Amino acid sequence: MKKKFSTCIFRIIILYLGIPALIALCLYPFLPIILEYPPNSIDNQFQLDFDGITYTQQYVLLIGLIVSCSLIVLLIRAYRIHRCIDKLDIVNNSISKDEKVRLLTKVRALCYNTPYLLYFLEILLPLIFLPITFIVIDAYPLTILKICLTYLSFFTLASVTSFVFSKHQFAYILTLLNNMYPEIMEKIEIIASNKKRTKLKSLSAKLVLQFVPLVVVSLVFISLIGYVQAAKKTGDIYYDSYQTIIGNSFNKVFKSETEVKDTLHEITLLDDSHQYFIINSDGSSYVAHGANLEPFFISYVLKNSEGQDGRAYDYFCVDSEGLAIKCELENGDFCYAGIKYDTNQPRFLKFILACDIIIFILIFGILIYVSRSLARDIRTVSTKLKEIASSNEKNINLNNKLIITSEDELADLSIAFNQTQKFTKNNVEQIRANQSMLMERERLASLGQLIGGIAHNLKTPIMSISGAAEALTDLTKEYDSSIDDPEVTHEDHHDIAKDMNSWISKIKNYTEYMSDIITAVKGQAVTLSETENVTFDIEELIKRVNILMKHELKNAIIYLNISVKANEHTSINGDVNSLVQVINNMISNSIQSYHGKTNQTIDLIVEENDNKLYISVKDYGCGLPKKVKDKLFKEMITTKGKNGTGLGLYMSYSTIKAHFGGDITFESEPGKGTTFTIILPL
């Protein structure tokens, strides 16, 4: 498993290296065209003499610097992820659950946040490094602007591509963790889902982050290419026109520079902004109207213009060209005479910018609408699923079907939801039917237990009443025979009457005891068919428990120690018979925990604290094994093998939750005993 994590992290690093490298490789030959680099002016001695660094060196340096910064951040975060996973793997058996939660939460946050951090980092870094780099080499402002836009588009494209592909690898890491720690990861996800989601992590924001940069990149590239082509076309027109106008005017040897200047001024300019210029062999220059020539233009004319048929260019990305003709002088020297003209198209540039803004606003608006619509449709399904997940059995509504309004994947999702809802509805109905059947079985089992208790508890008083009746019969016969006996004194009559009253008193006590049993049993039997919430007190509750469990405790020779640390007249609202049944079930389980051992004790403790009533049943038996504790109250489970169903505690938990709004907790240690505590709000 650890190897899979290392492989994922390695793939992520390769993605953040490979994608920029691939895009850089594709862009390398096109960048000089987009940025209007003059012919024969890059990656040669001419560029080294002028800039001190070649185009390839600039390109590799900038991309390497920015990618390296992103890679350093990625390596740091990858190391943190790997370190957390390493801790989980090394101390997997000894690490605490809280520490696991902390480490997994940290890994989850790193996997979610790292793609966003690198995304913004790869876009922001060019905005910092590019202007600084070109200011250092003393580039023109227009050049810096064009280069920054181009490189920024490149890094935006690289960051979006890396963001999209790397998220799959980070998601795979989370999938591996989910497979290893399903319960902990589920808990972390639930906690995270309950927190307020940041706008950046919404579906709409994710779509905008991925598509808006691509729109911007497309618009920038299309606009630059369109503008470059327009400027090039303008330059071609001016160059061809001036070549035609000049003709053979300079095809001779000139006496002096003055004659060259006069000949030059005889040429009619096509635009008032165009300029006459003369560049001497030593680099000095003359420009009409007092303007100055840029050093790059002078250097290009002297070194490269002849190789370009007299066409000269200004600095990189500057929309300015010229026609330069070499003029021979009688003194053996030479100079270059020509006309410089701008090829920029301000009106066309404004038109392109206006179109870009309109297109961007239109696409951005459509994207926002589509993303919100998509998010809304998905949110509808998730909301419905949350309603089902958070609803209880009483208020669950499984009849709200989603309307299918399309034939795409969202329609498939809605159809799947409707089918799931239908399936869930059938399951709920089946569960309710099964629950009714289980409750009926529990009632019958309880009824059998009650009948056994009734039989034993009534047997003793009935036999006693029968004995008393026999005694009374004998006394009646004795009294009848003594009526006419002169030897029987008044004192003898009083003694007979006294004995008869004694037996009558015993019969009354036995009948009262039987009445109490019948009352308790009657109430307990009623709850087997229906429940009714009434108000009762602790004294009545303890009395019923004591009466109904007396037989089972006596048979097992187990002693029930009752400790009431609350006001016995504290009122409890609910179905007393249901609560009695729950407590009796716990006492029965405690009896069985001794596995037939006699002369053992069970503590029944009633306490009141913070407006809650705590009823604890504590035994000192075998305790509960771990596999039972993990599943208790969640499903029907028993430690009695074939002799148990696990239904009692399962139904008891449901009864306390549903009828009293309370809870049941437990503490158990193997070999030392178990304590079940019923918590009832007062």
In sequence order, the 6+-apart residues with CB closer than 8 A to the CB of 40 are 46, 304, 307, 308
The more confident residue out of 453 and 143 is 143
The more confident residue out of 220 and 289 is 220
Phi, psi of 92 (to 5 degrees): -60, -35
243 pLDDT above the threshold of 70 = yes
CA distance 230 to 236: 10
344 pLDDT above the threshold of 80 = yes
- Give the pLDDT band of residue 225 (cuts 50, 70, 90): confident
Work out the percent of the chain whose per-residue pLDDT is above 70: 81
189 pLDDT above the threshold of 80 = no
Residue recorded with tokens 């490189």: 151
pLDDT at residue 645, as a whole number:
39
* Joined tokens for residue 597: 């051992």
409 pLDDT above the threshold of 70 = no
Task: For residue 217, count other CB atoms closer than 10 A to its CB.
Answer: 18
589 pLDDT above the threshold of 80 = yes
The more confident residue out of 633 and 571 is 571
- Give the pLDDT band of residue 648 (cuts 50, 70, 90): low
Q: What is the mean pLDDT of residues 491-508?
A: 82
Q: What is the mean pLDDT of residues 389-405?
A: 60
Rounded to 5°, the CA angle 164-166-169 comes to: 125
Q: Is the dihedral of CA 165, 124, 17, 57 positive or negative?
A: positive
pLDDT tens across 411-465, in order?
A: 677 777 777 777 767 776 776 666 666 666 655 565 565 566 566 667 777 888 8
Residue 668: in which H helix or E strand, if any?
strand 663-669
CA distance 647 to 682: 27
The more confident residue out of 181 and 56 is 56
pLDDT at residue 88, as a whole number:
76
The two beta strands, 600-609 and 558-565, are: parallel
SS3 326: strand
Average predicted confidence (pLDDT) for the chain: 79
397 pLDDT above the threshold of 70 = no
- Give the pLDDT band of residue 237 (cuts 50, 70, 90): very high
Closest CA to 134 of 124, 147, 121: 147
Q: What is the mean pLDDT of residues 523-536?
A: 58
CA distances to 15, 171, 190 from 174, rounded to whole Å, are 18, 5, 15
Residue 334 per-residue DSSP state: E
In sequence order, the 6+-apart residues with CB closer than 8 A to the CB of 337 are 250, 260, 261, 263, 264, 276, 277, 278, 324, 325, 327
Q: What is the DSSP string of 234-265?
A: HHHHHHHHHHHHHTTTT-SEESSHHHHHHHHH
pLDDT at residue 641, as a whole number:
45
HSE, side-chain direction, 13 A CA sphere, residue 598 = 4
On whether the CB atoms of residues 300 and 125 are closer than 8 A, the answer is no
642 pLDDT above the threshold of 50 = no
pLDDT at residue 81, as a whole number:
83
* Joined tokens for residue 9: 């992290």
In sequence order, the 6+-apart residues with CB closer than 8 A to the CB of 102 are none
CA distance 525 to 507: 26
Q: Is the dihedral of CA 485, 491, 495, 500 positive or negative?
A: positive
627 pLDDT above the threshold of 80 = no
The more confident residue out of 93 and 297 is 297
* Joined tokens for residue 495: 């003694």
The more confident residue out of 649 and 266 is 266
Work out the percent of the chain whose per-residue pLDDT is above 90: 11
In sequence order, the 6+-apart residues with CB closer than 8 A to the CB of 581 are 446, 524, 527, 652, 655
14: left (phi over 0), alpha (psi -120 to 50) or beta: alpha
Q: What is the mean pLDDT of residues 637-649?
A: 50
pLDDT at residue 431, as a whole number:
65
Q: What is the mean pLDDT of residues 369-375?
A: 78
Rounded to 5°, the CA angle 125-162-219 comes to: 70
601 pLDDT above the threshold of 90 = yes
Reduced 3-state DSSP string for 377-433: HHHHHHHHHHHHHHCCCCCCCCCCCCCCCCCCHHHHHHHHHHHHHHHHHHHHHHHHH
pLDDT at residue 520, as a whole number:
56
Residue 667: in which H helix or E strand, if any?
strand 663-669
- Give the pLDDT band of residue 636 (cuts 50, 70, 90): very low
pLDDT tens across 257-277, in order?
A: 889 999 988 898 998 889 999
Q: Which amino acid is at 589?
A: N
